[in-house]
Amino acid sequence: MDLANFDYYLPPELIAQTPAEPRDQARLMVVDRQTGFRQGAIFSQLPDFLQIGDVLLINNSKVLPARLLGHKVGSGGRIEILLEQKLSQPNNGEYWRCLVGGTRPGIGLVVDLGDNLQAEIMAAETDGVFVVKFNQTGTDFWSAIYRLGQMPLPPYIKTDQIGLQRAVNDYQTIYAKADKIGSVAAPTAGLHFTETLLRQLKNQGVDIIEATLHVGLGTFAPVRQQNIKDQRLHDEMVDIRAETINKLINYHRQGRRIIAVGTTAVRILEGVVAKFIDKPADKDWLAPINLFIYPGFKFKLLGGLVTNFHLPKSSLIMLVSAWAGTKLIKQAYQEAVEQHYRFFSYGDAMLLV
């Protein structure tokens, strides 16, 4: 399956640089997968397209201020560190898997991040990913991260200092939980929801179920393999209670539509919950997955998808193509370009049912 099948031309001016205000005033393209019919709406009109008994699965992971800027101890060269996944601690220190940018980062490099926080590269993995040890641990480490860290906005969002400050709130879903911090990117389909909209959906008879997938480095990594079947995604940690798994399976058996809010929720549903179709979960799930969904994938539980417009040649556009069909997605994206929808993280949304 050729990578070129998932490419398209996007005028740069259609890449959203700020979110809609209010959040639920983003545009919404509603797509019927069976007929191909498409219609435009506003995201606040989402309840008009859902039914009593529908279930929304949302990802309540919270984005951590994962972007750290520092300088090489000795030469002073600029280094950027992006926290990705906390690792076990073989001895004193805080160990993380990180994306490290700068001139020739390598094993043994020590980076001064300010406020007595230093990082040392301990091991190299692939694609600019390293194992990094920090000299502070526990509450001291987290206090430093919250003082020094920035929100890890995608590189296509060109922002100034004011934009970075706004991103502390803009780049979080309203339902992100403080005890579920761990993503390096927001589950952006959820950025469109407001408290008012969630309340309206609940009053309409739509159940809202929460689970957690911490968005990892794979979000920033392009698909590089020309034959996409050769691509492997980074692991992402999923945290979901056994009770929630069994509830979702029961909803499916009752014939209720489970509509995922974002591609991360799809991966929770199809990568974890679907494992328990034939047997109930008897313990909570806290483990990584690296599910790569592309056309040909057999969905077991998904009944609909709320999602944004994704980057060309990305694993995310492959996922939506697997759900709605590559031809239909190409048509919908072309229409979105022609009608000047806003694209990517802060952009407009689609409902694929």
Question: Model confidence over 103-119: pLDDT tens digits?
Answer: 889 999 999 999 999 99
> Could you tell me what percent of the chain has a pLDDT over 90?
80
Q: Is the peptide bond before 280 cis (omega within 30 degrees of 0)?
A: no
Hey, what domains does the chain have and what are their CATH numbers?
3-63+171-352 (3.40.1780.10), 67-148 (2.40.10.240)
- Give the mean model confidence (pLDDT) for residues 270-293: 96
Task: Please tell me whether the overall predicted TM-score, pTM, comes out greater than 0.85 for this model.
Answer: yes
Question: Model confidence over 302-330: pLDDT tens digits?
Answer: 999 999 999 999 999 999 999 999 999 99
DSSP states of 212-240 as a string? EE---GGGTSPP--SBGGG--PPPEEEEE
Number of residues in the chain = 353
* Coil, helix or strand at residue 190: helix
- Give the mean model confidence (pLDDT) for residues 248-276: 98
CB 109 within 8 A of CB 131: no
Dist CA 271 CA 213 (whole Å): 11
Does the pLDDT of residue 92 top 90, yes or no? no
Does the pLDDT of residue 127 top 60, yes or no? yes
CB 180 within 8 A of CB 215: no
- Give the mean model confidence (pLDDT) for residues 135-142: 92
Q: What pLDDT, on the 0 to 100 scale, is given for residue 225? A: 62
Question: Model confidence over 212-226: pLDDT tens digits?
Answer: 999 986 665 566 666
What mean pLDDT, rounded, does the chain reach? 92
Q: What pLDDT, on the 0 to 100 scale, is given for residue 86? A: 86
| Torsion of the alpha carbons at 157, 158, 159 and 160, rounded to the nearest 10 | 170
* Coil, helix or strand at residue 275: helix
The bridge status of strand 349-352 relative to strand 27-31 is parallel
Question: Model confidence over 240-249: pLDDT tens digits?
Answer: 999 999 999 9
Sign of the C-alpha dihedral computed for residues 190, 23, 196 and 174 taken in this order = positive
